């Protein structure tokens, strides 16, 4: 994985992973719906991000913001 980020879509916040080949994988959970479950979502998103930082390995490369399909942070 090259990145873990959150994105909002139609009233729902979700977690997305960017794979080494640039493909985005949207996780079904954790998520929010119209703000419901926001505290648990933030906690779980942080947990996923911390695990990834500790285990990302030597193949990790930063995702350039100008790259096609690059994630947007919020």
Domains of the chain: which residue ranges?
3-55
In the chain, DSSP assigns E strands to 3-9, 12-18, 24-31
Report the pLDDT value the prediction gives residue 70, as an integer from 0 to 100. Answer: 47
% of the chain exceeding 70 in pLDDT: 85
Average pLDDT over residues 46-54: 94
Query: Tell me: the pLDDT tens digits for 13-32?
Result: 999 999 888 899 999 999 99
pLDDT at 67 over 70: no
Residues near 24 by Cβ (< 8 Å), separated by ≥ 6? 16, 17, 18, 69, 71
Q: Where residue 8 falls among pLDDT bands split at 50, 70, 90?
A: confident
Contact status, residue 33 vs residue 12, Cβ threshold 8 Å: yes
58 vs 68 pLDDT, higher one: 58
């Amino acid at each position: 994985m090259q990145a873990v980020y959150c994105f909002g879509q139609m009233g729902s916040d979700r977690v997305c992973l960017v794979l080494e080949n640039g493909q985005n994988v949207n996780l079904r959970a954790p998520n929010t719906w119209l703000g419901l479950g926001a505290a648990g979502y933030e906690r779980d998103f942080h947990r996923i991000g911390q695990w990834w930082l500790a285990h990302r390995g030597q193949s990790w490369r930063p995702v350039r913001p100008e790259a096609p399909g690059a994630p947007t942070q919020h």
